[in-house]
């Protein structure tokens, strides 16, 4: 069983960006705060004056865990797998996987770069991988 994300009125811009291989987050025009996941209003000042921005794709591993117990039947065959919390250069943190890296090599503070993984024909997910020149 494959879990395929579905866009809705709030997340359509995000998923449109993913199809273009860019990661978009929201930014408040009133207070300059940036965040993820998407919301209808700024979580800092409650303004509705927000825009979508494409991020640089650079980040730092803030935390991570190795999952040994499948939380959903769709990932039973994937355990163990690593889930990371990545601090984006633009500020917010995003939950992701770290690809192309052994579990023992993932470290807090490790610099990572955005990549995209095709999980099914035409279905992309934003992920991260170590920055090669720093790893």
Instruction: Please report which residue ranges of 51-131 form alpha helices under DSSP H.
Output: none
Instruction: Look at residue 1 in the predicted model and tell me its pLDDT.
Output: 64
Q: Choose between 72 and 26: higher pLDDT.
A: 26
Sheet holding 34-35: strands in order across?
34-35, 24-28, 50-54
pLDDT, tens digit, 9 for 90 and up, residues 84-126: 999 999 999 999 999 999 999 999 999 999 999 998 888 999 9
d(Cα 105, Cα 51) in Å, to the nearest integer?
A: 36
d(Cα 131, Cα 5) in Å, to the nearest integer?
A: 27
Token look-up 């790893």 returns 135
Contact 48, 62 (CB under 8 A): no
Encoding tokens for residue 34?
């940036």
Confidence (pTM): 0.90
Residue 18 above 50 pLDDT?
yes
């Amino acid at each position: 069983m494959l879990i395929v994300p579905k866009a809705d009125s709030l997340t359509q811009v995000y998923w449109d960006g993913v199809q273009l291989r860019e990661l978009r987050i929201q930014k408040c025009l009133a207070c300059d705060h940036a965040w993820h996941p998407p919301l209808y209003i700024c979580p800092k000042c409650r303004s509705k004056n927000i825009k979508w921005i494409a991020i640089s794709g650079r980040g730092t591993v803030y935390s991570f865990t190795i999952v040994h117990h499948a939380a959903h039947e769709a990932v039973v065959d994937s355990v163990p797998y690593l889930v990371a919390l990545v601090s984006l250069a633009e500020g917010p943190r995003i939950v992701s996987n770290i690809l192309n890296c052994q579990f023992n090599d993932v470290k807090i503070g490790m610099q990572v770069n955005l990549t995209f993984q095709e999980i099914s024909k035409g279905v992309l997910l934003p992920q991260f991988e170590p920055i090669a020149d720093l790893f």
